[in-house]
Amino acid sequence: MIAVLEFLKEHRKKILIIIFVIVLIRFINLVGRDRDYNRFEGLIIDLLKPGFVVVNSIEEFSKGTFRVILDYKSVKEENEKLKDKVENLNYNLKQIEKIMLENHRLRELLNFKEFAPYKVVGGSVIGHSSENWSNVLVIDRGSKAGIRRKMPVVAKNGYLLGITQQVTAHTAQILLINDGNFVAGGLVQRKDSRDLGVIKGQTQESRLLMNNLAWDADIRVGDTIVTSGSQYYPKGLPIGKVISVSPDNYGLTQAALIAPFIDVRRVEEVLVITDFSTKVDLLEPLNSDHQLEGERE
């Protein structure tokens, strides 16, 4: 008897909960029956009313939570689908913009090709030199397309870009105008001048140097400098604008700094002039049609 009492005392809370649950289930089963409760059942039902409210609240909360979980999963899946659609649209938009920019650049090249009576080969830039002392880029056309060493290369609007250097069957290296090893004959385009000098690249600068100008050469800030014509360059390819003039070689000659028309770092397509044997002088057309887009400081 003592052991039973000890057990009941030790587990009284659990026993009370079990009894409460049994009674609750018993009287819940009474709900909905088509008869009147007796006084005892009615009293118990009233006493258990808070329990009914709690059970009902728990049930409603469980249903609501489950519904939220299902809705969240559905919304998450829908958001993932929308995210994928947005990413695809952004990708397609970028591709369209890329194509439009490429078409614009190609139109500028084609304008020069139609205007200049030269044989040309178009190419796309596929690489740049990594050395700080060299300015070279690589295009995807080579000897198979008719390109050889020492051929002039132009970018948009016929702006001089450089000259071919090493050539393989399917690629060609271009020595850019701002490389320290680049040299070309330069001419002041202005009709009442036509003074000559030598254009040299400056690897560490974004400017070109034009020296060997006569001490009395008529060259001014703002003058356009073009190729003077030689074995390797046709006459009249635009190079850049004069931004400063100063005495050189103790006043025996003059030198000028030239801002090139083309930013070599942004070139993506080029034209290699494979034949300019027609010897056409481009000075007059270029003077009216090819202007500097913006003088760089």
Compute mean pLDDT per 10 residues along the chain, 297 residues long, and list them: 62 65 58 56 62 61 64 73 76 61 59 70 83 79 93 90 94 93 94 93 85 93 93 92 92 93 87 79 48 40
**What's the helix, strand, coil split of the chain in %, to 5?**
40, 25, 35
Kindly state whether residue 196 falls inside one of the protein's structural domains: yes
- What does the block give as tokens for 206? 């974004």
Kindly state whether residue 179 falls inside one of the protein's structural domains: yes
- The predicted pLDDT at position 286 comes to 43
Give the CATH number for residue 222.
2.40.10.350
- Domains contained in the chain, number: 1
- The residue among 207, 136, 128, 227 whose CA lies nearest residue 175 is 136
Q: β-strands 152-154, 269-275: how paired?
A: antiparallel
Angle (nearest 5°) at CA 203 between 164 and 242: 90
Kindly state whether residue 136 falls inside one of the protein's structural domains: yes
Domain that holds residue 207: 120-289
Kindly state whether residue 143 falls inside one of the protein's structural domains: yes
Phi and psi (nearest 5°) for 237? -70, 125
Kindly state whether residue 9 falls inside one of the protein's structural domains: no
- What does the block give as tokens for 235? 């006459």
Task: Specify the DSSP class assigned to residue 143.
Answer: G
| pTM (predicted TM-score) | 0.60
Kindly state whether residue 138 falls inside one of the protein's structural domains: yes
Q: What is the rounded distance in angstroms from the CA atom of residue 294 to the CA atom of residue 103?
A: 22
DSSP per-residue codes, 50-97:
HHHHHHHHHHHHHHHHHHHHHHHHHHHHHHHHHHHHHHHHHHHHHHHH
Q: What is the rounded distance in angstroms from the CA atom of residue 196 to the CA atom of residue 101?
A: 37
Q: What is the rounded distance in angstroms from the CA atom of residue 169 to the CA atom of residue 189?
A: 37
Strand partners, 179: none
- The predicted pLDDT at position 74 comes to 74
Kindly state whether residue 96 falls inside one of the protein's structural domains: no
Kindly state whether residue 125 falls inside one of the protein's structural domains: yes
Phi and psi (nearest 5°) for 35? -160, 165
- The predicted pLDDT at position 292 comes to 38
